[in-house]
Amino acid sequence: MDGDLFSFSFLIMSDPLKTESQRATWLRKYYLVRAAFSFAWVAAVFTVAKQSPALATVLLIVYPAWDAFANLLDVRMTGGAKANATQLLNIWISALVTLAVAGSLVFKLQIALAIFGIWAIVAGLLQLATAIRRRKDNGGQWVMMLSGAQSALAGGFFVAQQGSGAPVLQTIVGYAAVGAVYFLISGVMVLVRESRRGARGLASGGG
């Protein structure tokens, strides 16, 4: 695995990735970084957020904001807006959700869980659509399809829980943890596919 996985130096590239190998390398890094972020977010919920209501609030706002930023990077690196309509829509929705969650917390409106639920449904369906589009050319997409479907189902559960008094952060942390596992599996699957492709290339070259 490349040493720059967590250096983010690969994020400053200005040209869209054109070859299959470049796209696979990007997706592998993208999935693994998203997994790392989600695992770190979950760890923060179970540790420091328990001692700081302010930090708990920040974590609720950061989660959809990170999703918007991550999708923006993915769009930028894989052909731009025209080639990635589902991710582009996801960017705008996640950005709006970030503002909506922040507003609900600032004004103490008890609707944050419903906001997260609606977001999980829409974002999950968009992720499912993205994975279906990518499945022919990229590995790990069946996991992303499963993740998208699970996200939509979880969103329905969140909406149903609204008004029950369930704490928002503790309710969605399991959702974030499962999402992290999906991203990790997808990243590993892309890595395995890259390794096999490289091995076949060496074998054919040696022959």
- Give 112-126 pLDDT, tens digit per residue: 999 999 999 999 999
**169 lies in a domain?**
yes
**Angle at 86 (CA atoms; ends 9, 40), nearest 5 degrees:** 45
CA 107 to CA 164: how far, in whole Å?
19
**13 lies in a domain?**
no
The total number of structural domains in the chain stands at 1
**170 lies in a domain?**
yes
Instruction: Return the pLDDT at 3.
Output: 44
- What is the pTM (predicted TM-score) of this model? 0.86
CA 123 to CA 141: how far, in whole Å?
16
CB distance 166 to 113 below 8 Å: yes
- Give 9-34 pLDDT, tens digit per residue: 444 444 567 677 888 899 999 999 99
Q: Count the Cβ atoms, other than its own, within 10 Å of residue 33.
A: 19
- Give 135-187 pLDDT, tens digit per residue: 887 777 999 999 999 999 999 999 999 989 889 999 999 999 999 999 999 99
**1 lies in a domain?**
no
Q: Count the Cβ atoms, other than its own, within 10 Å of residue 202.
A: 10
Domain around 46: 20-206
Among 31, 132, 133, smallest CA distance to 73 is for 31
**Angle at 161 (CA atoms; ends 158, 166), nearest 5 degrees:** 105
